[in-house]
């Protein structure tokens, strides 16, 4: 009787565990975008969320929790239950820059998150107002060296990829330019178009309409390959600053301690979405490349980026204005 009771209890336990796994997700998923609606990160999250909901037969809600260069939303996810129902739209800033840039951080990106999948990479574009007397990267560098400290650059906020892309350019080109931070690319672009700021390293989707409309002149893209959105514009590396490479990127991350099988399920479902021609086209329209790959590949990418940007922050003594 004791043996029979043990066997029955063991079977019940095993069945319960299997059922729990099969029930995931047991309620709607929440994807936290740590920025305001309308930006590239928000667009990518919503494109994936719509398709992920159909794949897992549960609603997937995108929640914007903006503030503090992404730190407010990221911290909320870090403190969420590690059960796979809350995901972070993890970006260059929150995963690779902010811990080096800000003091007294409430979360540690290296310890508090588990990378799930690399969703997309997006090039920034170096653009100047039409009235600036620099027709290419070489002329811009020469102008900056001729009048040190006179040029300015706009960013979507201190610590953003648009800020750090410019700092990397300054370091590698050996020039100086003053940082003018704004609360988002929209505001920054207004002043660059008007000629009140000399240049911007902006995400391709938000800068492209101004470039196509002739209000901004694109001098170079920040990746190591040209963008299909602006195939005639050289990379900054081929335009004279050899080796320059700065991409914005985003992916899914979950709170540390999320079960491995849940991470793999999320990876598998999202990878299938990213592999479709429709999704690749939608991302390409935003100037982005679908990436995918296993969790380990995204984790390694995040590690390399954290080292790269952390080193730049320390060496250049970059402070947030």
- Gap between the terminal Cα atoms of the chain: 73
pLDDT at 7: 47
How many angstroms separate the CA atoms of 197 and 190, rounded?
9
Cα 120–305–197 angle (5° rounding)?
80
> Which residues of the chain are in CATH 3.40.190.10 domains?
123-221
- 90-120: pLDDT as tens digits: 999 999 999 999 988 999 999 999 999 999 9
If one counts every other C-beta atom within 10 angstroms of the C-beta of residue 269, the result is: 16
| DSSP codes, 207-239 | HHHHHHTTSEEEEEESSSS--TTSTTSPBTTTT
pLDDT at 4: 55
> Which residues of the chain are in CATH 3.40.190.150 domains?
27-121+247-316
Residue 47, SS3? helix
pLDDT at 20: 44
pLDDT at 277: 97
Q: Which two tokens stand for residue 306?
A: 């954290």
pLDDT at 68: 86
| Neighbouring residues of 172: CB distance < 8 A, sequence distance ≥ 6 | 241, 243, 244
How many angstroms separate the CA atoms of 15 and 30, rounded?
28
Cα 289–25–273 angle (5° rounding)?
20
Q: Which fold has domain 123-221?
A: D-Maltodextrin-Binding Protein; domain 2 (3.40.190)
| Neighbouring residues of 206: CB distance < 8 A, sequence distance ≥ 6 | 39, 40, 185, 186, 189
pLDDT at 121: 93
Q: Which two tokens stand for residue 105?
A: 């951080």
In this structure, the chain runs to a length of 321
Q: Which residues of the chain have pLDDT under 70?
A: 1-22, 321
How many angstroms separate the CA atoms of 234 and 218, rounded?
9
How many angstroms separate the CA atoms of 81 and 256, rounded?
9
Strands (E), the chain: 29-33, 60-64, 86-91, 113-129, 152-155, 178-181, 199-203, 216-221, 247-255, 288-292
For the domain made up of 27-121+247-316, the CATH class stated in words is alpha beta
pLDDT at 40: 82
């Amino acid at each position: 009787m004791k043996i029979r009771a043990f066997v029955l209890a063991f079977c019940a336990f095993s069945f319960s565990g299997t059922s729990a796994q099969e029930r995931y997700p047991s309620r709607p998923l929440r994807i936290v975008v740590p920025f305001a609606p309308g930006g590239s990160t928000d667009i990518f999250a919503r494109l994936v969320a719509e398709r992920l909901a159909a794949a897992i037969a549960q609603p997937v809600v995108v929640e914007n929790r903006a503030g503090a260069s992404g730190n407010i939303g990221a911290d909320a996810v870090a403190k969420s239950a590690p059960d796979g129902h809350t995901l972070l739209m993890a970006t260059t800033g929150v995963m690779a820059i902010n811990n080096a840039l800000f003091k007294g951080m409430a979360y540690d990106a290296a310890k508090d998150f588990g990378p799930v999948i690399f969703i997309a990479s997006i090039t920034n574009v170096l653009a100047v107002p039409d009235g600036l007397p620099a027709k290419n990267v070489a002329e811009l560098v020469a102008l900056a060296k001729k009048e040190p400290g006179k040029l300015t650059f706009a960013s979507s906020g201190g610590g953003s990829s648009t800020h750090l892309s410019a700092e990397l350019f300054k370091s590698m080109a050996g020039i100086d330019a003053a940082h003018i931070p704004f609360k988002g690319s929209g505001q920054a672009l207004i002043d660059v178009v008007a000629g009140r700021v000399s240049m911007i390293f902006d995400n391709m989707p938000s800068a492209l309409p101004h470039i196509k409309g002739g209000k901004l002149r694109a001098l170079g893209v920040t990746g190591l390959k040209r963008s299909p959105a602006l195939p005639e514009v050289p990379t900054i590396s081929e335009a004279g600053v050899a080796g320059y490479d700065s991409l914005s990127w985003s992916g899914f991350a979950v709170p540390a301690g999320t079960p491995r099988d849940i991470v793999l399920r999320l990876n598998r479902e999202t990878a299938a979405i990213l592999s479709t021609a429709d999704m690749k086209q939608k991302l390409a329209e935003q100037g982005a490349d679908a990436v995918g790959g296993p969790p380990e590949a995204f984790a390694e990418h995040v590690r390399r980026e954290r080292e790269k940007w952390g080193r730049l922050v320390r060496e250049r003594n970059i402070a947030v204005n």
